[in-house]
Amino acid sequence: MVTPEVAEIAIERIDGTRRESTRDRVVAEAPLQLRARSVPVATIMRTPGHDIELVRGLLHAEGITGSIAQVDVDAIEIDLEATVFVGRGLLASAACGVCGRVAIAYLELRAREVTADAIIDATTIASFPDALRAAQSVFAATGGLHAAGLFTIAGALVASREDVGRHNAVDKLVGWALDAKLDPARHALFLSGRLGYELVQKAIAFGVPIVAAVSAPSSLAVELAERFNVALVGFVRGERANIYAHGWRIR
């Protein structure tokens, strides 16, 4: 199955002493250019698909609002002056984040503490990995990308997005939720990889009170979650999990 998200390539497969030529499917990765009134302002490496959602979520995390239109398969036009983007480091936000302390200070200026009183059962969080994996159609075909899912407090998967970049997967999901006018206060964000501070930062900007993942958080991610009243849960594997911040939200 070759789609915009999946590419098929020629490979050689080794099995012991046996070696053969065959074909395999890999996740697609391609640049998406962001233009502000025709002026290029950033390039994001992403898995094609849900591009409007990706940019909407990314801009929301940066505190930027403006109309968005896809002008072709590899470009998004934003109806703002290019000067709005000067010094914001969108490339870093889409890839690996900027200096942690600077990011926290910047977040203090534009994000509010998450005041939702949401509480979730630990057994519900334990169900998230299998539910998200079942929704990962591109991962099933390629085994090579990340996923983010929004779940209700009761454990129902509301929406999920996949991308070669874990930050992009979150931005796509938040972009969808903003367009759907979903209230984040009664939802949890679950991630297929590790919990870097930049992903927690995006969750806080969105306003979700519970963030969990199959892997480990960083110390800065824990600090952010603690500061902004977000429960942080890592190493969700079977009935096991580690709670790193605001354990009162997990019962």
Q: Tens digit of pLDDT for each residue in 56-91? A: 999 998 889 899 999 998 999 999 999 998 877 664
155-186: per-residue pLDDT in tens?
999 999 999 888 999 999 999 999 999 999 99
User: What is the Cβ-side half-sphere exposure of residue 68, based on CA atoms within 13 angstroms?
Assistant: 19
pLDDT at position 94: 42
Q: What is the CA radius of gyration of the chain?
A: 19
Type of residue numbered 135: A
CATH class, range 30-108: alpha beta
pLDDT value at 147 more than 50: yes
Question: Which residues touch 245 (CB under 8 Å, ≥6 apart)?
Answer: 222, 225, 226, 230, 231, 232
Assign domain 122-249 to its CATH architecture: 3-Layer(aba) Sandwich (3.40)
Type of residue numbered 62: E
Q: Please state, in angstroms and as integers, the Cα–Cα distance from residue 251 to each residue in 121, 123, 154, following that order.
A: 5, 9, 13
Question: Which residues touch 70 (CB under 8 Å, ≥6 apart)?
Answer: 51, 52, 76, 77
Extents of the domains making up the chain: 30-108, 122-249
pLDDT value at 188 more than 90: yes
Distance CA 177, CA 183 (A): 8
Known catalytic residues are 96
Beta bridge partners of 19: 14
Rounded to an integer, the average pLDDT of 117-131 is: 95
- Report which of 160, 109, 102, 153 is spatially closest to residue 132, judged by C-alpha positions: 160
pLDDT value at 31 more than 60: yes
